[in-house]
Structure 1
Amino acid sequence: MTVSVIEQAKIQAQVLVPLVKALQAELGEARANALVRKALADTYRRFGEAFWQSRPDKHLGETMASAFRTYAAGDALAYDVREQSDDTFAIDVSRCRYAEFYNALGEPELGFLFVCSADFSLAEGFGDDVALTRTQTTMQGASHCDFRYRRKDEKKT
């Protein structure tokens, strides 16, 4: 049985939310969040490295399209592809069940910490020639998330 990423996030939240709340109470919110962000960043960077290395073609657009199909499974995301090529992938996410879930828990800031903050670490795992920009997220109340991946040197590897 395959568990969708959204269902994995919900399962993880059952442990992570109370754990981080306890850390925040003990260490203070800023210190606890920094610790969690660092630990998760290392994990997601390794996921990004493994995912990127598993792709034989290294075409950024197709690689990211594949990744977003995985994250969108189970009706978790609604998004529009704005641009896709070997060196770019740009999408706007208009509906995010990850955000809806954390908002329903009353913990959107933890949703941002656990889910949205991971996006940049994951992209770092793709190597120094791939950059991600994102100026807003639905988790933080915006109308959409604007993901823009690009290959920095336009080199195809």
Structure 2
Amino acid sequence: MNQMSILERRRIEALVLKNVYEVIRERSGEEEAQAAIGEAVSRSAIEQGKSFADELGRTPTIQDFADIQPLWTKENALEIDVISQGEDHFDFNVTRCRYSEMYREMGLGHIGHLLSCNRDGDFCIGYNPEMKLERSQTIMKGASHCDFRYRLDKTEDNTKGGGMKEVALTGRTDR
């Protein structure tokens, strides 16, 4: 992958998406602007997950996922406390999020969840469809920390694959 930090990449993306968001909002309203940005960023996250998996050359494991976390924490972009990690799970809390800080500084705090937070579960869809994220709170939405709970679901009824379940955060369920 490119040597540019993910934090810097998100900053550049946000500079462009801010203008796209404003144009859509002016033409079609707030709801449509957020929906369009959310969908575009979701597609990007899925593609990025697939790219990481393709580069690995096999179906990624939880350990593979943990091994790439430094890409997201580079430049102290995230401060994390690992709670637990095993073959089928990776649980950690983010106690500082420079992504959130950056979006607020850019005047994009109100759509920061679309630009960053929602990517987290969508990345799994492309990376490993058996991987799921459950999260009940984020710093972006005002919590003291983000609670990331990744699970590897190898059950046969896992037909949808990947994605995120946010419990009591946005009302959104598996994507």
Task: Name the SS of the counterpart of 1:73 in structure 2.
Answer: helix
Q: Which residue of 1 aligns with 2:34?
A: 33
- Is this contact kept in 2: 1:87–1:154, CA < 8 A? no
Q: Which residue of 1 aligns with 2:111?
A: 110
Amino acid at match of 1:125: G
Output aligned runs, 1:68-147, within 5 Å. Answer: 68-147=69-148
Amino acid at match of 2:33: A
Deviation, 1:59, is: 2.3
Separation in 2 of the partners of 1:81 and 1:52?
A: 23
113-122 or 9-18: which moved more?
9-18
Task: Name the SS of the counterpart of 1:81 in structure 2.
Answer: strand
- Is this contact kept in 2: 1:82–1:91, CA < 8 A? yes
Output aligned runs, 1:58-69, within 5 Å. Answer: 58-60=60-62, 62-69=63-70
Tell me the TM-score normalized by structure 1.
0.88
Runs of 4+, deviation exceeding 6 Å: none
Deviation, 1:27, is: 1.0
- Is this contact kept in 2: 1:137–1:146, CA < 8 A? yes
- Is this contact kept in 1: 2:89–2:149, CA < 8 A? yes
For residues 26 and 87 of structure 1, do their structure 2 counterparts lie closer, same or farther at Cα, with a shift above 3 Å needed? same
Q: Which residue of 1 aligns with 2:6?
A: 5
Unaligned runs of 5+ in 2: 157-175
- Is this contact kept in 2: 1:17–1:110, CA < 8 A? no
Structure 1 or 2: more helix by fraction: 1
Separation in 2 of the partners of 1:45 and 1:14?
A: 21
For residues 132 and 111 of structure 1, do their structure 2 counterparts lie closer, same or farther at Cα, with a shift above 3 Å needed? same
Unaligned runs of 5+ in 1: none
Aligned residues: 154
Task: Name the SS of the counterpart of 2:91 in structure 1.
Answer: strand
Q: Which structure would you say has the larger RCO, counting Cα contacts within 8 Å and 6 or more residues apart?
A: 1
Percentage identity across paired residues of the two chains: 32
Q: Which residue of 1 aligns with 2:159?
A: none
Separation in 2 of the partners of 1:99 and 1:125?
A: 24
7-16 or 76-85: which moved more?
7-16
- Is this contact kept in 1: 2:82–2:92, CA < 8 A? yes
